[in-house]
Amino acid sequence: MIGTAFKLGRVSNLPTVWTNAMAGALLALSAAPGSALVPILLSALALTLFYVGGMWLNDAFDAEIDRAQKADRPIPRGEISQRAVFLGGFVMLGVGLLLTLPLGGLAQVSALLLTLSIFLYDWLHKRTALAPVIMGVTRFFCYAMAAFAATGAFPGVAIWGALGLMAYVVGLTYAAKQEAYDRLDRAWPLAVLALPAVLVLVTGWGKPLALLIALGFLVATGFALRFLFRRAKGDVPKAVTLLIAAISLYDAALIAGVHGGWLPALLAVAGFALTRVLQRRIAGT
Residue 10, sorted as left (phi over 0), alpha (psi -120 to 50) or beta, turns out to be: left
Domain-embedded: residue 53: yes
- CB neighbours of residue 251 within 10 Å: 36
Mean model confidence pLDDT for the chain: 90
Is residue 138 scored above 70 in pLDDT?
yes
Q: What is the pLDDT of residue 2?
A: 78
Query: Residue range 62-82: average pLDDT?
Result: 83
Is residue 282 scored above 80 in pLDDT?
yes
Is residue 136 scored above 60 in pLDDT?
yes
114-135: per-residue pLDDT in tens?
999 999 999 998 788 889 999 9
Domain-embedded: residue 17: yes
Query: Residue range 150-169: average pLDDT?
Result: 95
Is residue 283 scored above 90 in pLDDT?
no
Is residue 182 scored above 60 in pLDDT?
no
Q: What is the pLDDT of residue 187?
A: 62
> Number of folded domains in the chain?
1
Q: How far is CA 162 from CA 47, 81, 227, in A?
A: 15, 36, 26
Which is higher by pLDDT, 175 or 179? 175
Domain-embedded: residue 285: no
Domain-embedded: residue 247: yes
Alpha-carbon gap, residue 282 to 285, rounded angstroms: 9
Range with the poorest average pLDDT among 30-34, 83-87, 272-276: 30-34
Which is higher by pLDDT, 212 or 178? 212
Is residue 232 scored above 80 in pLDDT?
no
What range does the domain containing 162 cover?
A: 2-279
Q: Indicate which CATH number applies to the domain containing 52.
A: 1.10.357.140
Q: Which residues in 74-97 are b (16+ Cβ under 10 Å) and which e?
A: bbbeeebebeebbebbbebbeebb
Q: What is the pLDDT of residue 177?
A: 72
Range with the poorest average pLDDT among 61-75, 182-196, 250-264: 182-196
Please enumerate in sequence order all residues whose Cβ is within 8 A of that of 25, keeping only pairs 6 or more positions apart, or say none: 36, 39, 40, 43, 146, 147, 149, 150, 151
Domain-embedded: residue 31: yes
Is residue 181 scored above 60 in pLDDT?
no
Domain-embedded: residue 143: yes
Is residue 186 scored above 70 in pLDDT?
no
Domain-embedded: residue 284: no
Please name the residue ranges forming H helices in 231-260. 235-245, 247-254
Q: What is the pLDDT of residue 35?
A: 67
Confidence of residue 176 (pLDDT cuts 50, 70, 90): confident
Q: What is the pLDDT of residue 57?
A: 96
